[in-house]
Amino acid sequence: MMQPDLLSSRPVRAAASAVSPPTTRGFPLVGVLPHLLKDRLDYLLSARDELGDLYTIDLGLTRLVALNHPRHAQHVLRDNARNYRKGGAIWESIRSLIGNGLPASEGDLWLRQRRMIQPEFHRDRLAAMCDLMVQAIDDGMAGFGAAAAAGRPVNAERELPHITMKVILNTMFGSGITKEEADAVGGSLQYAIDYMLLGAALQGLPRWIPAPGRRRFERSVKMIDEHVFRFIAQRRAHPGRSGDLLAILLATVDAETGEQMTNQQLRDEAVSMFLAGYETTSVSLAWALHFLVANPELQQALVAEVDAALGDRRPGFADVSKLPLALAVFQEALRLYPPAYWIPRTAIEDDEIDGFRIPAGAMVGVMSYVLHRHPDHWETPARFDPGRFTPERARGRHPLAFIPFGSGQRQCVGKEFALMEGQLILARLLQRFRVSAVPGRTTRLHVATTLRTSGGVWLRLEPRPGR
Ligand code: HEM
């Protein structure tokens, strides 16, 4: 059956009276690039203060229309989504790793795949995946355990990716995957993802020019493919009854066409899930821990919630709803530092937003980072305050004032999965350890593919008595 949300957009035409948006003033040829490279996000905040919610960023050779109001997000991601596609160098580069996987595909192929994949993330499926997830979290937490036992401080930003990678591998391929396989795939993926973004900058170069790192990128993709195709072949040979994602995707049939996914499409979707779902979750959890250790009262309240809900037993799916503060802490970290800090699109036809003309071919960006700090929608926006997400305080807020997972037809398919994972990782960590900051260590924002830190998030962990 067709998902009603998937095709809900209607085209809007630009009115003749629309005017061009105000533009940032920059240097000849390079525009405001030097400012952006220096302090990208502060620059975007101050440009909004100066020019308003919608303005054009002059990048020298190219331009980007910055959209900073929930109303704009509503227009581009929902009401007129059909007029905005995922195009340009960055998406070409991403396709070199994930092929026709869901995040990069468009049109009929995207719709067919989305129809098949979306139901696999519904509540009953998540319930079935919860045990695999908790097992992976416990296995992945070995590094935290070792540091606590040795009394060594640990950089959570380095440790958390081991957990989130294990979670995605186990839930995707089942717990049968060995540690060696997980490490091999994990290492290659990490390299390929980092290279891919550099790849966007190198797109213009002919392939015979030996771009730095390209050979290793190609070797990494080959290694990922060998493993993933082998997992697929094994599972086709022995389907079994496991609840992991691969088993489910292998059995999925498109209700309209009766077709199943090919091995290549399965590979593309599996690699897409890694790309979309592993660093995003780990980096936002690192921020959540950064704020938790800076705020001992909040941490105490969270420990009390976790102890009341779980004691020292392993959480199950029914416990997830008993951890609202864990959810709010994770959401507040996603508000202040959304890993996908802007959502790029290209206009297909002329359009109009808030009375401004958006010409066909214009690159637009929904600036989640700025929108999440919009003073009309968030009180004292720079403050870490999970209480904003209680139903009482969230009442009346624009539904698109908080969009870490995007919105509309391309909204993150793994949203509920990621939120559950965040809650469970925080709960499991606080069940086992008392967590505090390491004096003298400072965490600063480092803008990369996602919003990472420079300096890491250093923690001191103490095993809790009896745990
Ligand atoms: C905190 C964690 C996560 C964040 C912040 C996040 C963020 C996002 C955002 C903003 C988009 C939309 C991009 C756009 O509209 O251009 C997206 C799409 C997507 N995400 Fe996530 N994501 C997270 C976790 C996950 C996980 C765990 C999975 C899979 C298990 C996943 C799978 C996907 C896929 C497949 C898409 C493409 C959907 C489509 O285009 O139809 N994500 N994500």
4-463 to CATH, choices 1.10.630.10, 1.10.287.90, 1.10.150.120, 3.30.70.2660: 1.10.630.10
Does the beta carbon of 365 sit less than 6 angstroms from any atom of ligand 1?
A: no
On whether the CB atoms of residues 215 and 253 are closer than 8 A, the answer is no
Task: Show the CA angle centred on residue 141, arms to residues 436 and 103, nearest 5°.
Answer: 105
Which pair of tokens denotes residue 138? 């416990």
Q: Whose CA is nearest to atom 2 of ligand 1?
A: 281
Cβ atoms < 10 Å from Cβ of 392? 6
8 Å CB contact between 103 and 276: yes
Q: Which tokens go with 323?
A: 């951890």
**One pLDDT digit (tens) per residue for the chain, 467 residues:** 223 334 334 444 555 678 999 998 877 666 676 676 667 788 899 999 999 999 999 887 788 899 999 999 999 999 999 999 987 777 777 888 899 999 999 999 999 999 989 988 988 889 988 998 999 999 999 999 999 999 999 999 999 998 998 899 888 887 677 878 887 888 888 888 878 766 555 554 445 555 667 888 899 999 999 999 998 888 888 876 667 888 888 888 888 888 889 999 999 999 999 888 888 999 999 999 999 999 999 999 999 999 999 999 999 999 999 999 999 999 999 999 999 999 999 999 999 999 999 999 999 999 999 999 999 999 999 999 999 999 999 999 999 999 999 999 999 999 999 999 999 999 999 999 999 999 989 898 988 778 888 889 999 999 998 77
The reply to whether ligand 1 has any atom less than 6 angstroms from the CB of 372 is no
Sequence spans of domains, the chain: 4-463
121-159 pLDDT per residue, tens: 988 889 988 998 999 999 999 999 999 999 999 999 999
What sections of 238-295 are H helices per DSSP?
Answer: 245-251, 263-277, 279-293
Q: Which atom of ligand 1 is found nearest the CA of 273?
A: 29
Residue with the two structure tokens 């009394």: 151
Neighbours of 63 (CB within 10 A): 15
Distance CA 22, CA 57 (A): 9
- For residue 58, list its beta bridge partners: 63
In the reported structure, the alpha carbon of residue 272 is separated from the centroid of ligand 1 by a whole-number distance in angstroms of 9
Which of 400, 412, 421, when mutated, tests ligand 1's pocket best, judged by the most ligand atoms within 8 Å of its CB? Answer: 412
Please give the full DSSP string across 354-411, using - where no structure is assigned.
TTEEE-TT-EEEE-HHHHTT-TTTSSSTTS--GGGGSHHHHTT--TTS--TT--GGGS
